[in-house]
C-alpha cells in the first residue's frame, strides 16, 4: 500500500464506495423486480381465476333460478307459457355464457393440485349438464303446450327430474367453492412471499449501507494519514515553505519530523540546501562572464562595420538581377498558364459537345416515352367509358331488382303471418338492390373523375412532347456553336505554346546569371550575419550576465 500513488488511493477509495452503492442499488432493483413479478402473477392469473369462478357460479345460480321459476306455474295459462318460453331463451344464453367462461378459465395456468380440482369440477359440470338437458327440453315443451292434460303431465315430469338434479348441483357448488378457496390461498401465498422478499430486501439494503459507511470511514482515515505522511506535515506548513522559496528566501526553516527523509517537506529541505550552494557559484561566475562579454562586444562592432559596406554594394547588383529574372519568370509563367487554360477550355468544349449529343439522344427517348404514355392514357379513357356502359346495365338491374323486391314485400304483406319470412327476405333484397345502386353511382362518379384526369394528362403529355422537340433543336444549335469554339481554342493553344517556349529559354539564361550573383551575395550575407550574431551575442551575453547578477541578488543566501 505504501507504493500506491495518491491518485490511485483516492480513486480506489471512491471506487469502492461507488461499487458499494451500485451493489445496494442492484439488490434493491432485483428485489423490486421479483416483487413486481409476484404482483403481476397475482393480478393476471389468480385474481382473473377467482373472478371467472365467481361468474361461473353466478351462471349456475341463474340456471337454478330459471329452473325454480318453472315451478311457479303449476297450471296452464297464457302467462305460464309466455314465461316458460322466455325462461327457455334465457336458459340457452346462460349455457352459452357458461361455456365461454369455462373456455377462458382453461387458458389460465394452474398447479397440479389446482388442475386436479378443476378436472373434478368439469366432470361435475358435465354430469349436471347431462341431467339438465331433459329439463331444457321439458321447459321448451311447456312453453308450447296447448292442452291442460299435456301441460300437467309435462309439469309433473319436470318436478320429478328437477328434484333429481339437486344432488349434482350441490356437488358442483361445493367444488366451485373449494376451487375459489384454493385460488384465494394461492393469492395469499403470493402476497406472503412478496412481503418476505420486501423484508429481506430492506435487511440487505441496511447491511450494505452500514458496510458502505464503514468502508467510507476507513478509506477516509487511511487516505488522510497517507496523504499527511507523504506531505511530511500539515498542508499549511507545506504552503508556508513553498511561499518562502518562491520569494527567494533560501534561509527559511523547514520543520521536519524525526526520521523523516522521504516526505515532500524533506525533499524541499534538500532542494533548498542544493539551491543555496548553486546560487553562490553562479554569483561568482556571472561577474567573470560580464567582463569578457564587454571585450568581445567592442571587437565585433568594428568587424561588423566593414562587412556592412561590402554587403551594400553586392545587394544592389543582386536586386537588379532578381527583378529581371522575376520579370522573365512572370512572362513564362503567364504564357504557360494561358496554354494550360486553353487546353482545359479545349477539353471542356469537347466534353460539352459530347454532353449535348447525349442530351439530344435522351430528349428523343423522352419524346418517344411521352408519346407512348399519351397513347396509354387515351386507351384508359376508352376503357373507363366501356366500364361506364357496364355500370349503367348494373344500375338498371338494381332498379328492376328493387321493384321486384317491393312487389314481393306487398304480396308478403297480403299473405299475413304466412308471408312474414318472405317479407323479411324481400326487405333484405330491396336493401341490397339500393346499396348496389348507390355503389354503382359512386363508381360512375369515380370513373368520370378518372376520364377527366386522363384527358388532362394526355393534353399535358402532348405539350411536353412539343417542348422536348424544341429542346432538341436548341441543343443541336448549341453543339454546332461548341464545335466553332473548339477550333478557335485550338489555334490559341498553339500560339500560347510558342510564347511559353521562348519565355522559358530566356528565363533559363537569367536564372543562371542570378544564381551566380546570389551565391556571392549569400557568402557576404553569411559573413555579415556572423559578425552581427557575434556582436549581438556579446551584447546579449553582457545583458544576461547583468540580469543573472540581479537575479542572484534576489536570493537570501545568508
Do 279 and 250 touch, CB atoms closer than 8 A? yes
Could you give the count of Cα atoms lying within 13 Å of 22 in the half-sphere of its Cβ? 6
Q: Judge if 319 and 402 occupy the same domain.
A: yes
Question: What is the gyration radius of the CA atoms in the chain, in angstroms?
Answer: 57
Question: Domain boundary residue among 199, 229, 259?
Answer: 229
d(CA 508, CA 332): 10
Q: Judge if 223 and 110 occupy the same domain.
A: yes
The pLDDT, as a whole number, for residue 435 is: 80
pLDDT in tens, 10-61: 677 667 777 877 787 777 677 657 665 655 555 455 677 778 888 887 888 8
Q: Judge if 225 and 281 occupy the same domain.
A: no
pTM for this prediction: 0.31
Q: Judge if 434 and 302 occupy the same domain.
A: yes
Which CATH number do you get for residue 397? 1.10.287.950
pLDDT in tens, 301-333: 776 777 677 667 767 766 876 776 677 677 667
CA distances from 522 to 300, 306, 509, 510, 547 (A): 20, 16, 20, 18, 35
The pLDDT, as a whole number, for residue 114 is: 72
Q: Judge if 296 and 216 occupy the same domain.
A: no
The DSSP output letter for 43 is: I
Closest-CA residue to 250 (of 233, 268, 237): 268
Closest-CA residue to 391 (of 435, 445, 440): 440
The DSSP output letter for 418 is: G
Indicate whether 241 belongs to any domain.
no
Indicate whether 248 belongs to any domain.
no
Q: Judge if 106 and 160 occupy the same domain.
A: yes
Indicate whether 262 belongs to any domain.
no
Do 555 and 280 touch, CB atoms closer than 8 A? no
The DSSP output letter for 416 is: G
Domain that holds residue 539: 274-554
Q: Judge if 148 and 280 occupy the same domain.
A: no
Per-residue pLDDT at 2 exceeds 60: no
When comparing pLDDT for 497 and 377, which is higher? 497
- Residue 304: which residues within 8 A CB-CB, separation 6 or more? 528, 531, 532, 534, 535
C-alpha cell at 70: 318453472
Q: What is the number of structural domains in the chain?
A: 2
Q: Judge if 481 and 427 occupy the same domain.
A: yes
- Confidence class for position 395, pLDDT limits 50, 70, 90: confident
Q: Judge if 325 and 190 occupy the same domain.
A: no
Question: Domain boundary residue among 176, 206, 229?
Answer: 229
33-53 as b/e: b if 16+ CB within 10 A = ebbeebeebbeebbebbbebb
d(CA 126, CA 228): 87
Indicate whether 245 belongs to any domain.
no
Indicate whether 468 belongs to any domain.
yes
The DSSP output letter for 249 is: B
Q: Judge if 282 and 212 occupy the same domain.
A: no
Indicate whether 493 belongs to any domain.
yes
Question: Domain boundary residue among 211, 229, 247?
Answer: 229
pLDDT in tens, 229-274: 666 666 767 777 777 777 777 676 777 777 666 777 677 677 777 8
Which CATH number do you get for residue 50? 1.20.120.1730
Do 225 and 532 touch, CB atoms closer than 8 A? no
Indicate whether 387 belongs to any domain.
yes
Q: Judge if 170 and 302 occupy the same domain.
A: no
Per-residue pLDDT at 151 exceeds 80: yes
The DSSP output letter for 468 is: H
Per-residue pLDDT at 191 exceeds 60: yes
Closest-CA residue to 108 (of 38, 49, 52): 49
Indicate whether 490 belongs to any domain.
yes
Amino acid at each position: 500500500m505504501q507504493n500506491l500513488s495518491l491518485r490511485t488511493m483516492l480513486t480506489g477509495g471512491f471506487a469502492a464506495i461507488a461499487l458499494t452503492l451500485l451493489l445496494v442499488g442492484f439488490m434493491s432493483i432485483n428485489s423490486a423486480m421479483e416483487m413486481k413479478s409476484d404482483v403481476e402473477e397475482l393480478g393476471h392469473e389468480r385474481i382473473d381465476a377467482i373472478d371467472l369462478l365467481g361468474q361461473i357460479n353466478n351462471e349456475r345460480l341463474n340456471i337454478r333460478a330459471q329452473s325454480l321459476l318453472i315451478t311457479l306455474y303449476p297450471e296452464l295459462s297464457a302467462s305460464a307459457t309466455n314465461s316458460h318460453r322466455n325462461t327457455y331463451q334465457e336458459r340457452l344464453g346462460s349455457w352459452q355464457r357458461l361455456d365461454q367462461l369455462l373456455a377462458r378459465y382453461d387458458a389460465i395456468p394452474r398447479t397440479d393440485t389446482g388442475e386436479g380440482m378443476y378436472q373434478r369440477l368439469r366432470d361435475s359440470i358435465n354430469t349436471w349438464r347431462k341431467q339438465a338437458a331433459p329439463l331444457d327440453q321439458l321447459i321448451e315443451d311447456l312453453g308450447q303446450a296447448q292442452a291442460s292434460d299435456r301441460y300437467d303431465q309435462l309439469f309433473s315430469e319436470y318436478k320429478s327430474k328437477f328434484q333429481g338434479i339437486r344432488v349434482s348441483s350441490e356437488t358442483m357448488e361445493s367444488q366451485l367453492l373449494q376451487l375459489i378457496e384454493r385460488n384465494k390461498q394461492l393469492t395469499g401465498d403470493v402476497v406472503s412471499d412478496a412481503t418476505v422478499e420486501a423484508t429481506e430486501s430492506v435487511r440487505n439494503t441496511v447491511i450494505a449501507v452500514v458496510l458502505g459507511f464503514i468502508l467510507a470511514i476507513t478509506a477516509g482515515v487511511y487516505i488522510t494519514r497517507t496523504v499527511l505522511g507523504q506531505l511530511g506535515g500539515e498542508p499549511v506548513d507545506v504552503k508556508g515553505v513553498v511561499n518562502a522559496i518562491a520569494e527567494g528566501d533560501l534561509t527559511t526553516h523547514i520543520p521536519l519530523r524525526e526520521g523523516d527523509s522521504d516526505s515532500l517537506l524533506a525533499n524541499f529541505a534538500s532542494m533548498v540546501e542544493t539551491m543555496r550552494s548553486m546560487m553562490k557559484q553562479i554569483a561568482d561566475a556571472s561577474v567573470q562572464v560580464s567582463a569578457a562579454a564587454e571585450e568581445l562586444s567592442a571587437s565585433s562592432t568594428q568587424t561588423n562595420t566593414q562587412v556592412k559596406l561590402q554587403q551594400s554594394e553586392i545587394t544592389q547588383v543582386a536586386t537588379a538581377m532578381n527583378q529581371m529574372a522575376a520579370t522573365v519568370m512572370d512572362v513564362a509563367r503567364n504564357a504557360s498558364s494561358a496554354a494550360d487554360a486553353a487546353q482545359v477550355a479545349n477539353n471542356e468544349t469537347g466534353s460539352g459537345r459530347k454532353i449535348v449529343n447525349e442530351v439530344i439522344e435522351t430528349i428523343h427517348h423522352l419524346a418517344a416515352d411521352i408519346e407512348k404514355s399519351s397513347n396509354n392514357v387515351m386507351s384508359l379513357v376508352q376503357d373507363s367509358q366501356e366500364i361506364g356502359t357496364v355500370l349503367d346495365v348494373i344500375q338498371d338491374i338494381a332498379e328492376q331488382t328493387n321493384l321486384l323486391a317491393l312487389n314481393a314485400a306487398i304480396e308478403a304483406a297480403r299473405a299475413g303471418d304466412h308471408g312474414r319470412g318472405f317479407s323479411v327476405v324481400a326487405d333484405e333484397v330491396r336493401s341490397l338492390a339500393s346499396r348496389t345502386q348507390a355503389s354503382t353511382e359512386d363508381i360512375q362518379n369515380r370513373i368520370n373523375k378518372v376520364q377527366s384526369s386522363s384527358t388532362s394528362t394526355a393534353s399535358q403529355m402532348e405539350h411536353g412532347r412539343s417542348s422536348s422537340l424544341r429542346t432538341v433543336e436548341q441543343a443541336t444549335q448549341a453543339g454546332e456553336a461548341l464545335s466553332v469554339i473548339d477550333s478557335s481554342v485550338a489555334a490559341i493553344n498553339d500560339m500560347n505554346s510558342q510564347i511559353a517556349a521562348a519565355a522559358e529559354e530566356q528565363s533559363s539564361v537569367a536564372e543562371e546569371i542570378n544564381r551566380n550573383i546570389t551565391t556571392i551575395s549569400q557568402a557576404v550575407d553569411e559573413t555579415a550575419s556572423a559578425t552581427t550574431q557575434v556582436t549581438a551575442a556579446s551584447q546579449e551575453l553582457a545583458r544576461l550576465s547583468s540580469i543573472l547578477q540581479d537575479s542572484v541578488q534576489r536570493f537570501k543566501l545568508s
